[in-house]
Structure 1
Amino acid sequence: MKAAFYTLGCKVNQYEAQILEQLFSAAGYEIVPHTEPADVYVINSCTVTATGDQKTRRMLRHLKSQNPDAVVALTGCYPQAFPHAADRLPEADVVTGARGRERLAALVERARATGERIVDIRPHERGESFEPMRAEQFSERTRAFVKIEDGCERYCAYCIIPTARGPVRSKKPDELRAELEGLAKAGYREAVLVGINLSCYGKDLGLRLIDAVELACSVEGIERVRLGSLEPELLTDGDIERMSRQPKLCPQFHLSLQSGCDATLKRMNRHYDAAEYARIAGSLRRHFDNCAVTTDIMVGFPGEDEAEFAQSLAFAEEIALAKAHVFAYSRRPGTRAADMPGQVPRAVKEARSARMIETTLRTRAAFLAAQVGSRQPVLFESRTADGMQEGYTPNYTPVRVRADEPLAGSIREVRIVSAHGDWCEGELPSQPSTAVNQKEGAL
């Protein structure tokens, strides 16, 4: 028996897809790419945007038309947020939501044995616990993503995720330690802690995110700990100071901005203003040497006029982001923003996206240029198409070097010699240095 998986969306979704692969493998399935013939296809959906829903429906139709005798299962955020819409998709033989992943393999087996169509979407409940799951391996052999939090209760005006993911719940510390120790024994050098609203980790346990960070950094064999996307206003100065005492914690922080205009942020129901965001970014930069602040920026939110966009654009340049994911607002049925007045025309959103991207590419280039002349520990991961070997510094600068020896999986000190577009080129020093992450002139 063969099973194939197709996953859309965030790192949490990718982590959960890995858990599903482990469950199906334990049930006797051989895991194959979704482009190959299989007995079962599982689509792990994302519903952040309406475009994500469209991709899910297209893939459902494609897989069923190409493999009419296979069982096709739809799971994840889309059916959880829109159960009635998912129930009406005839190509899906099994439909489940974002809860109870441990049941999916059994439901698929039932559908294969009986031929019945199964819809089993269980609503979220107050007080539900963190779903037990422990990743054992990933296709990427150097970095492991570890889901430590699920759910969100922030209710941003544009976001359907609180409906799809339910209340905040967190992985218990002993479960987190056991998972990290297993990954370390499997050879992973870096652990990335991820969650739907990662900053809320521990709310249900009487803990805070810093507690998970300190625990992860204490695990022998894990040499780097990195954080996923963060809601900025939940990072206190005390937490940042405690984080700065952990030498394993990577100085790269993805603080979700969305807009640099206070009026826009208020309509979005974000819980900070531009000044607070700048203060938190400044605190991180004071506490972490050579710190990278990255973000997401939305343009064209309902009611955003040219003056508001200009404020957001100026803030993005002023805050000197190391990298930004810029995207246009997409109307999401089921959210408050979908019915707000002042919907911005598509052409205007596209023009603003282009201007914001141009600005953030300039700040990105300045950040990469500032890395030139430094020596950095690089965790190597892969080869590029032209034969160079690529990895990442602690602050997530992509670095490529030319070397005959295989470097994947190793952490090597590299001297950064130039910046090219979205990456830096480096050289392996002929003699090991006694210091890393310092400017050459300071050695």
Structure 2
Amino acid sequence: MIDTSIFQDKTAVYYTLGCKLNFSETSTIGKVLREAGVRTVRKGEKADICVVNTCSVTEVADKKCRQAIHRLVKQHPGAFVVVTGCYAQLKPDAVAKIEGVDVVLGAEQKKDLLQYLGDLRKHESGEAHTSALKDIRSFAPSCSRGDRTRFFLKVQDGCDYYCSYCTIPFARGRSRNGSIASLVEQARQAAAEGGKEIVLTGVNIGDFGKSTGETFFDLVKALDDVEGIERYRISSIEPNLLTDEIIEFVSRSKRFMPHFHIPLQSGSDEVLKLMRRRYDTALFASKVKRIKEVMPDAFIGVDVIVGTRGETEEYFEQAYRFIQSLDVTQLHVFSYSERPGTQALKIEHVVSSEEKHRRSRLLLDLSDEKTRAFYARHIGQTMPVLLERSKPGTPMHGFTPNYIRVEVPHDDALDNQVIPVRMGDFNEEGTALSGAFGDNSVICNKELTR
């Protein structure tokens, strides 16, 4: 039994890098510490505990993690510093040597953070507590409220895919998940706390069911029946796991939004083979086509990696033309980063950093074109928007069901409310459509009234 009396009136600061799953898990860590008596540090205060949840998807991510740790150690002198997350799992000894770090917790240990805090006395040197890959087995539940209106529900962890460029399976372990019954209960609790939107998070959520013999489609159907939650979004799903039955269900769902995020990674079949992806461009195109057939106004976000080993100029041009042909909304573009221990390092053709930057810029410009055209098609329509709190005197923002960002005049009473908003032109920054509250009867096509 942990004596939590030493945590009473202590303060903590949290810093998260990386994906939505990391943010969800940090929020759960914060909840555990709050229940033990630790409050979040206020502006200008020095924290007693610093928790850094790291990412290691690229070399740049590793660097940002180190910078964040150094910055927090400097800002909060004497604080007990805990580092967890993917970088901590992959390079625990290196992290433990960073000045000021007390404890490094791996993927299996972070759920038990309290027991590693001891009496909060600083260590002479950092202590690393991690498990071997084969021993990362447990699924730590997490359903946390974000900074705004939505909850993030962790439904799955780990990955069995071992793509040639990726270290995530080594950082997160094998694919595993919670039970549908437990996840439905967490969704009900989120609704009881006033949540209206839940984002389903995980590492490879379409692979849901390895632990429990269930399927992701079963989970989607069960969550759709939870009263009080008005919107669900699927954070990211592999194209080979996005089945037609899931697409069809979302098209007629009461609560799942017409919004998909599908990792492509490359529009070249040759590069996809080098990456050890489990689909080709024909399958990807068929998924996009099917979504648009049943949900013409669906938002489709796509992940793309440029400059991976083996991506010749010819292969990139193939990829660009393929992506250009797709009826998708937005591209999330990443430059390939060499990761130690990955199979991609055996591929001979190396792309220069300058060429990676050029290819990235081309795809980002293409993304801007596609996103702007998608937004422009909805100007003049009235759509339900879930509005988010903002600072007094600044515009409020929110999203339509199909993930169009909307800006409206500030009104605290509208926080976490779904309001019909008439879409105007782009705001000054071009990042959202300016909205106005108009005639509730002018709601556009019925798929978007949910």
Length-normalised TM-score, structure 1: 0.92
Q: Single out whichever of 158-167 and 359-368 deviates more from structure 2.
A: 359-368
Q: Single out whichever of 382-391 and 319-328 deviates more from structure 2.
A: 382-391
> Hey, what's the Cα distance between the residues in 1 that align with 2:123 and 2:300?
53
> Hey, what's the Cα distance between the residues in 2 that align with 1:2 and 1:338?
44
Match of 1:139 among 130, 142, 147: 147
Indicate conservation of the 8 Å contact 1:302/1:337, yes or no: yes
Q: Single out whichever of 66-75 and 304-313 deviates more from structure 2.
A: 66-75
Which digits, 9 at most, give the CA deviation of each residue in 1:110-134, with x for residues without a partner? 4528877532112243682322x34
What SS does the corresponding residue of 1:233 show, helix, strand or coil? coil
Residue in 1 aligned with 2:63? 54
Indicate conservation of the 8 Å contact 2:304/2:334, yes or no: yes
Shift in alpha-carbon separation, 1:91–1:405, aligned structure 2, 3 A: closer
CA shift at 1:4, angstroms? 1.0
> Hey, what's the Cα distance between the residues in 1 that align with 2:112 and 2:44?
25
Indicate conservation of the 8 Å contact 1:375/1:439, yes or no: no
Residue in 2 aligned with 1:267? 274
Shift in alpha-carbon separation, 1:369–1:158, aligned structure 2, 3 A: same
1:232 aligns with 2:239: yes
Match of 1:160 among 137, 158, 167: 167
Match of 1:320 among 313, 327, 343: 327
Which digits, 9 at most, give the CA deviation of each residue in 1:244-294, with x for residues without a partner? 331211001000011111111111111111111010111112222411111
CA shift at 1:437, angstroms? 3.9
CA shift at 1:82, angstroms? 2.3
Shift in alpha-carbon separation, 1:62–1:388, aligned structure 2, 3 A: closer
> Hey, what's the Cα distance between the residues in 1 that align with 2:79 and 2:388?
35
Residue in 2 aligned with 1:70? 79
Residue in 1 aligned with 2:6? none
> Hey, what's the Cα distance between the residues in 1 that align with 2:55 and 2:42?
19
- Structure 1 unaligned blocks of 5 or more: none
> Hey, what's the Cα distance between the residues in 2 that align with 1:7 and 1:73?
12
Q: Single out whichever of 251-260 and 295-304 deviates more from structure 2.
A: 295-304
Indicate conservation of the 8 Å contact 1:4/1:34, yes or no: no
Q: Which amino acid in structure 1 is aligned with residue 218 of structure 2?
A: D
Match of 1:185 among 192, 205, 225: 192
Residue in 1 aligned with 2:440? 432
CA shift at 1:90, angstroms? 4.1
1:9 aligns with 2:18: yes
What SS does the corresponding residue of 2:440 show, helix, strand or coil? coil
Indicate conservation of the 8 Å contact 1:5/1:34, yes or no: no
> Hey, what's the Cα distance between the residues in 1 that align with 2:146 and 2:431?
26
1:102 aligns with 2:111: yes
1:410 aligns with 2:424: no
| Aligned positions, number | 437
Q: Single out whichever of 149-158 and 370-379 deviates more from structure 2.
A: 370-379
1:422 aligns with 2:427: no
CA shift at 1:376, angstroms? 1.1
> Hey, what's the Cα distance between the residues in 2 that align with 1:387 and 1:138?
20
Shift in alpha-carbon separation, 1:49–1:127, aligned structure 2, 3 A: closer
Q: Which amino acid in structure 1 is aligned with residue 60 of structure 2?
A: T
1:170 aligns with 2:177: yes
1:215 aligns with 2:222: yes
Residue in 1 aligned with 2:53? 44
> Hey, what's the Cα distance between the residues in 1 that align with 2:226 and 2:330?
30
> Hey, what's the Cα distance between the residues in 2 that align with 1:258 and 1:349?
14
CA shift at 1:146, angstroms? 0.6
> Hey, what's the Cα distance between the residues in 1 that align with 2:45 and 2:347?
44
Aligned-residue Cα RMSD (Å) equals 2.3
Which digits, 9 at most, give the CA deviation of each residue in 1:158-188, with x for residues without a partner? 1100000001111111211111111111111
Q: Which amino acid in structure 2 is aligned with residue 432 of structure 1?
A: N
1:287 aligns with 2:294: yes
What SS does the corresponding residue of 1:293 show, helix, strand or coil? strand
- Structure 2 unaligned blocks of 5 or more: 1-9
Which digits, 9 at most, give the CA deviation of each residue in 1:6-55, with x for residues without a partner? 11110000000001001111111111269741111111111111111112
> Hey, what's the Cα distance between the residues in 2 that align with 1:439 and 1:203?
33
Residue in 1 aligned with 2:253? 246
Shift in alpha-carbon separation, 1:366–1:136, aligned structure 2, 3 A: closer
Q: Which amino acid in structure 1 is aligned with residue 206 of structure 2?
A: S
Indicate conservation of the 8 Å contact 1:389/1:401, yes or no: yes
Shift in alpha-carbon separation, 1:23–1:309, aligned structure 2, 3 A: same
Residue in 2 aligned with 1:195? 202
Indicate conservation of the 8 Å contact 2:96/2:126, yes or no: no
Q: Single out whichever of 305-314 and 251-260 deviates more from structure 2.
A: 305-314
